[in-house]
Structure 1
């Protein structure tokens, strides 16, 4: 009986993961649609993706990344 319980539990975990993966795919499709809509309205989606990535970062991590980028740009004469 214990093997059946473990097998049932494993099956339930797998099914939950499959449902979540399907939801994740749906959300990814929705995000893609928003970027396509923004592009159709004249926005640069590459820049928008960079902004979204920056907004996910904590302020101090973003400041460190900005400072490092500026240091590298300056070293390469890209100012």
Structure 2
């Protein structure tokens, strides 16, 4: 290792640690928002699903539109298919 390597490693690690601390703070803030939403009668899971959907939509709208179309197509095929075999759980 060169003389510069330890300083370079420390620099990268310190930057990563700083960002990780910020990430922890942001995660705690998000958790607080979900708790607030729940206290106002909202479903945290549904809210989280919506957030996930919107983030994916923002990143790649074409891909999400295609997935949504396929989902609708499959759902329609499933619900309109003859129900010769019903999927049940045996207890």
TM > 0.5 fold call: yes
Aligned mate of 1:75, from 74, 77, 84: 77
State the number of aligned residues: 77
Tell me how large the CA RMSD over aligned residues is: 1.8
Per the alignment, in what secondary structure is the counterpart of residue 2 of structure 2?
helix
CA distance in 1, matches of 2:31, 2:18: 20
- Structure 1: unaligned runs, 5 residues or longer: none
- The residue number in structure 1 matching 2:62 is 60
Per the alignment, in what secondary structure is the counterpart of residue 42 of structure 2?
coil
Q: Shift of residue 18 of structure 1? A: 1.0
Flag the structure with higher helix content. Answer: 1
Residues 30-62 of structure 1, C-alpha deviation per residue, up to 9 Å, x if partnerless? 111101110110111211112112212233222
Q: Which has the larger radius of gyration?
A: 2
- The residue number in structure 2 matching 1:51 is 50
In the superposition, the TM-score normalised over structure 2's length comes to 0.72
- The residue number in structure 2 matching 1:24 is 23
- Structure 2: unaligned runs, 5 residues or longer: 81-91
